[in-house]
């Protein structure tokens, strides 16, 4: 947590618990907060603001699949920009005291998003995205998650294929998601994109710009960022690979100067052409690399666990409410019968 | 209703091929359609009944390194050579199986926009047109001030050129996600205005006439400016925008919109 506390030290007056710290907590600090509240005394008055959380791994640990420069830029500039804009926009409004997820859903405003929405959603999306990855990730999921994937998609390969397709066909900027659909058909806030009687299943969705499945009351499990920024980062990664390869080749060329010129030219053209061919499928390749080498299935499994627990809790709530309603109805019916019998006894 | 400077249509005399009115400043023959042979057209048409391509990729009216240092050759190679070409190829692939046939590009955009419920071909068609328009909206040695009629109209509708410039930059900065920013001549209100659109939408779908367009998709500026969009927009306004093209477009637009009407107050 060294990085996070450093950040909060630098951003004086920013609440380091980041989510909904009410101002009066300063008066009765908890043991954790006491240490930080001393810093607050020296600095500006307490404001409940969101802070930029760093990814749970060092910025260079995802190399060579996602370079440190990419993370520095994507997290350090884009993500940070959204956090700053969000804090600026919600200052002084009632959104200020809400949790980030509540801010996202509230500012979505049933499809007519308010100005803080894009920033809140992008902050949440990027936090989610960084946490969906880990160094040495990839591979296959196991346990309950794998079981559900096989149940809902047929096989892991089919799920991958559908996910890649969703990411590739998202026109413009957006995100591709693997989410767990809750047992609710009417979400109230937005049009449910996958309405069907079959609930409690995994679905793949794609969203434009900053929208995320929270607004449909889904539980997101995995996200991949398909804004063009990511395609370009992947392009830089590819170009590094190609230039490295070309450098090797030129070294070899110096050693074999008696090779015919035609062969050397064709070889270089072939490499360049291959690079351009790669670029054509840049998004598909980027998503493949993400799924094969970066995704953290442990985190996805734990999110699924939370999602299923939440769905089960909701089901129990709904059942309990239905039982209470039933009891109420039967009570009311008794009263009505009493009233009816009174009427019946009176002459018309 | 074309807004390109020249639009020769290429009639190749075959029954099966459509007239391709997508030529611009320079004409590029569509690939895949065989040339007429001296043996006779009847003989050719039997063999050429399968149409291989509908729309072609037109080249920008300048060399790819002409916009340096404001827009690098690398950007143009990727933006035009890959992205724009992808849109053209995808559109042609979609049109093979589609009943939309024989439209001009502008007609195709309006038809596929379908009044707000776009058909699958819309994104590709609109992006092809948008990019053609974008290349022509720029020139080497561009920027500076508009001249003559365009300047007069801007001063009439925005009070001053700097006002218009600020509005344009502000609108572009406020755009979230991918999209375009346009200076359009509104046909109903008969005045110039700045609009921004998302993804592939262009003002043609509302019947307005675009005069200048700026691509705000990340692929347009990311290589040269990373995330410094303000610098990109300012560079476009100061060094790239082609007021010559804007003037020609305004001249054409005046054939459809009467700008000279005096403002008669309603009693």
In tens, the pLDDT along A261-308 reads 545 544 544 444 444 334 445 788 889 999 999 999 999 999 999 999
Q: Are B33 and B11 in contact (CB under 8 A)?
A: no
Interval A121-128 mean pLDDT: 96
| Residue A88 confidence (pLDDT) | 93
- Which of residues B264 and B67 earns the better pLDDT score? B67
Q: CB-CB: which of B78, B86, B123 is closest to A171?
A: B123
Cβ–Cβ contact A173 with B under 8 A: yes
Q: How confident is the model at residue A335 (pLDDT cuts 50, 70, 90)?
A: low
On whether the CB atoms of residues A89 and A113 are closer than 8 A, the answer is: no
- Distance separating alpha carbons of residues B217 and A284, to the nearest angstrom: 19
Distances A208 to A114, A211, A290 between C-alpha atoms, Å? 16, 6, 20
pLDDT at A141: 93
> Does the pLDDT at position A158 exceed 90?
yes
Task: Dump strand ranges (E) for chain A.
Answer: 174-181, 201-208, 219-225
Model ipTM value:
0.76
Closest listed residue to residue A67, CA positions, set A230, A193, A205, A184: A230
Among candidate residues A118, A301, A315, A312, the one with its CA nearest the CA of residue A215: A118
CA B192 to chain centre: 17
What does the pLDDT read at residue A190?
62
Distance from CA of B217 to the nearest CA of A (A): 8
Q: How far apart are CA B95 and CA B52, in angstroms?
A: 10
Residue pair A189/A166 in contact (Cβ under 8 Å)? The answer is no
Which residues on adjacent β-strands are paired with residue B210? B184
**Angstrom distance (rounded) from CA B262 to CA B15:** 49
Name the band, by pLDDT with cuts 50, 70 and 90, for residue A217: confident
Confidence of residue A109 (pLDDT cuts 50, 70, 90): confident
In terms of pLDDT, which residue wins out, B147 or B126?
Answer: B126
By CB atoms closer than 10 A (0-12, 13-18, 19+), residue A115 is: middle
Mean pLDDT, residues A96-109 taken together: 91
* pLDDT confidence of residue A55: 93
Confidence of residue A348 (pLDDT cuts 50, 70, 90): very low
The more confidently predicted of residues A301 and B36 is A301
Q: Answer whether B184's CB lies under 8 Å from B195's CB.
A: yes
The span from the CA of A14 to the CA of A47, in Å, is: 6
Between residues A31 and A301, the one the model is more confident about: A301
Top-confidence residue, A255 or B200: B200
With beta carbons less than 8 A apart as the criterion, state whether B172 and B233 touch.
yes
Give pLDDT, residue A338.
55
Q: What is the pLDDT of residues A49-85, one digit of tens each?
A: 899 999 999 999 988 888 888 888 889 999 999 999 9
**B23 or B52, which is more confident?**
B52
Tell me how far apart the alpha carbons of residues B80 and B78 are, in angstroms, rounded to a whole number. 6
User: Is A173 close to B123, i.e. CB distance below 8 A?
Assistant: no
Which pLDDT score is estimated for A209?
Answer: 92
Question: How far apart, in whole angstroms, are the C-alpha atoms of residue A171 and residue B172?
Answer: 19
**What is the rounded distance in angstroms from the CA atom of residue A97 to the CA atom of residue A90?**
9
Question: What is the spatial distance between Cα B46 and Cα A136, in angstroms, rounded to a whole number?
Answer: 60
Residues A50-59 pLDDT 10s: 999 999 999 9
Interface touch B219/A232, C-beta < 8 Å: yes
Residue with tokens 């995320």: A212
Is the model more confident about B65 or about A240?
B65
User: Best mutation site among A74, A119, A206, A228 for testing chain B: the one with the most B CBs within 10 Å?
Assistant: A228
Contacts A–B by Cβ distance under 8 A:
45
Evaluate if residue B57 carries a pLDDT over 80. yes
Instruction: Give me the pLDDT at residue A302, please.
Output: 95
Pick the most confident of A2-6, A103-107, B181-185. B181-185
What's the pLDDT score for residue A15? 40
Q: What is the pLDDT of residues B152-194, one digit of tens each?
A: 999 999 999 999 999 999 999 999 999 999 999 999 999 999 9
Distance CA A338, CA A344 (A): 10
Q: What angle in degrees, to the nearest 10, is found between the helix axes of A156-169 and A282-289?
A: 140
| pLDDT score of A21 | 41
Average pLDDT, chain A: 76
Mean pLDDT of A194-211: 83
Interchain pair B82, A276: CB under 8 A: yes
Q: Does B197 touch chain A (CB under 8 A)?
A: no
Q: Which of A173, A206, A238 to mutate to test the interface with B (most CBs of B within 10 A)?
A: A173
pLDDT at A326: 87
Residue A73 has its nearest CB partner, among B78, B217, B226, at B226
Q: Name which residue leads in pLDDT, B66 or A249.
A: B66
Contacts of A273 in chain B (CB under 8 A): none
Residue B17 has pLDDT above 80, yes or no: no
Identify the CA nearest to B127 among candidates B91, B171, B94, B157.
B91
| B177/A208 CB distance under 8 A | yes
């Amino acid at each position: 947590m060294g990085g996070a506390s450093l950040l909060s030290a630098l951003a004086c007056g920013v609440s380091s618990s980041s989510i909904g710290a009410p101002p009066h907590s300063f008066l009765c600090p908890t043991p954790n907060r006491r240490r930080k509240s001393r810093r607050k005394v020296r600095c500006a008055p307490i404001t409940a603001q969101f802070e930029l959380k760093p990814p749970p791994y060092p910025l260079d640990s995802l190399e060579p699949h996602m370079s440190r420069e990419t993370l520095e830029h994507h997290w350090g500039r884009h993500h940070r920009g959204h956090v700053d804009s969000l804090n600026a926009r919600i200052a002084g409004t009632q959104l200020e005291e809400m949790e980030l997820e509540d801010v996202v859903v509230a500012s979505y405003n049933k499809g007519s998003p308010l100005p803080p929405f894009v920033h809140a959603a992008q902050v949440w999306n990027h936090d989610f995205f960084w946490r969906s990855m880990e160094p040495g990730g990839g591979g296959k999921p196991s346990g309950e998650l794998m079981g559900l994937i096989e149940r809902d998609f047929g096989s892991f390969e089919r799920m991958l294929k559908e996910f890649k397709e969703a990411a590739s066909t998202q026109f413009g900027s957006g995100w591709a998601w693997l989410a767990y659909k809750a047992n609710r058909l009417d979400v109230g806030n937005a049009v449910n994109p996958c309405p069907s009687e079959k609930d409690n299943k995994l679905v793949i969705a794609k969203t434009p710009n900053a929208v995320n499945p929270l607004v449909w009351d889904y539980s997101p499990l995995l996200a991949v960022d398909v804004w063009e920024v990511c395609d370009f980062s992947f392009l830089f990664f590819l170009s590094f690979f190609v230039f490295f390869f070309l450098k090797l080749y030129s070294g070899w060329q110096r050693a074999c100067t008696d090779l015919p010129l035609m062969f050397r030219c064709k070889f270089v053209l072939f490499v360049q052409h291959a690079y351009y061919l790669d670029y054509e499928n840049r998004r598909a390749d980027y998503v493949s690399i993400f799924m094969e080498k970066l995704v953290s299935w442990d985190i996805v499994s734990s999110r699924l666990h939370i999602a299923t627990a939440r769905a089960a809790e909701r089901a129990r709530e709904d059942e309990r409410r239905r039982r209470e309603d039933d009891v109420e109805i039967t009570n009311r019916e008794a009263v009505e019968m009493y009233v009816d019998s009174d009427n019946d006894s009176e002459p018309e | 209703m074309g807004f390109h400077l020249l639009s020769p249509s290429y009639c190749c005399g075959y029954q099966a091929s459509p007239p391709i009115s997508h030529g611009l400043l320079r004409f590029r023959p569509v690939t895949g359609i065989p040339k007429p042979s001296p043996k006779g057209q009847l003989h050719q048409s039997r063999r050429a009944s399968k149409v291989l391509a509908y729309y072609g990729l037109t080249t920008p009216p300048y060399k790819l390194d002409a916009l340096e240092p404001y827009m690098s050759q690398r950007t143009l190679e990727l933006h035009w050579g890959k992205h724009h070409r992808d849109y053209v190829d995808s559109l042609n692939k979609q049109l093979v199986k589609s009943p939309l046939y024989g439209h001009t590009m502008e007609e195709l955009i309006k038809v596929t926009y379908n009044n707000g419920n776009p058909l699958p071909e819309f994104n590709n068609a609109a992006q092809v047109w948008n990019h053609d328009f974008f290349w022509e909206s720029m020139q080497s040695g561009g920027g500076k001030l508009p001249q003559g009629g365009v300047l007069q109209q801007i001063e009439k509708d925005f009070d001053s050129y700097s006002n218009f410039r600020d509005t344009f930059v502000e609108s572009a900065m406020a755009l979230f996600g991918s999209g375009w920013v346009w200076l359009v001549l509104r046909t109903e209100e008969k005045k110039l205005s700045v609009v921004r659109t998302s993804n592939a939408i262009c003002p043609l779908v509302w019947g307005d006439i675009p005069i200048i367009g700026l691509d705000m998709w990340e692929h347009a500026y990311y290589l040269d400016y990373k995330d410094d969009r303000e610098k990109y927009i300012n560079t476009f306004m100061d060094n790239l925008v082609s007021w010559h093209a804007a003037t020609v477009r305004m001249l054409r637009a005046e054939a459809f919109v009467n700008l000279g009407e005096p403002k008669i107050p309603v009693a």
